[in-house]
């Protein structure tokens, strides 16, 4: 399951540089996470780094993008093969 950023985001800029897949970008109003690039840091870290640094806890799992640990690992491997 990828993550998403809620409208509680305060645009503090700490999450974007922590993402090893460059899945986080500045949206029109708040930061956004691209589900196709989010692996919840599987393959890189034990926990999602954006969640670790978020001061307002506004990055939950996205119920619209459910993925298993194996699917996240597969996405990680595809991203690494593509040089992301």
Whether 6 maps to a domain, the answer reads no
Residue at 68 is within a domain? yes
CB under 8 Å to 10, separation ≥6 — which residues? Answer: 55, 56, 58
pLDDT for residue 81: 94
Q: What is the pLDDT of residue 84?
A: 63
User: What domain count does the chain have?
Assistant: 1
Instruction: Give 10-residue mean pLDDT values along the chain (84 residues).
Output: 94 97 96 96 97 98 93 96 82
Please report the pLDDT score of residue 38 as a whole number: 97
Q: What is the pLDDT of residue 1?
A: 75
Separation CA 83–CA 55 (nearest Å): 30
The reply to whether 75 falls in a domain is yes
Which pLDDT does position 27 carry in this prediction? 96
CATH code of 66's domain: 3.30.70.20
Which structural domain, as residue segments, surrounds residue 73?
16-81
pLDDT score, position 83: 81
């Amino acid at each position: 399951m990828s993550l998403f950023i809620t409208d509680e985001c305060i645009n503090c800029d700490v999450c974007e540089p922590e993402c090893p897949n460059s899945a986080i970008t500045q949206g029109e109003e708040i930061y956004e996470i691209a589900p196709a690039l989010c692996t919840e840091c599987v393959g890189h870290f034990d926990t999602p780094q954006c969640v670790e640094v978020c001061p307002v806890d506004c990055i939950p799992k996205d119920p619209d993008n459910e993925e298993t640990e194996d699917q996240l690992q597969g996405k990680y491997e595809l991203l690494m093969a593509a040089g992301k």
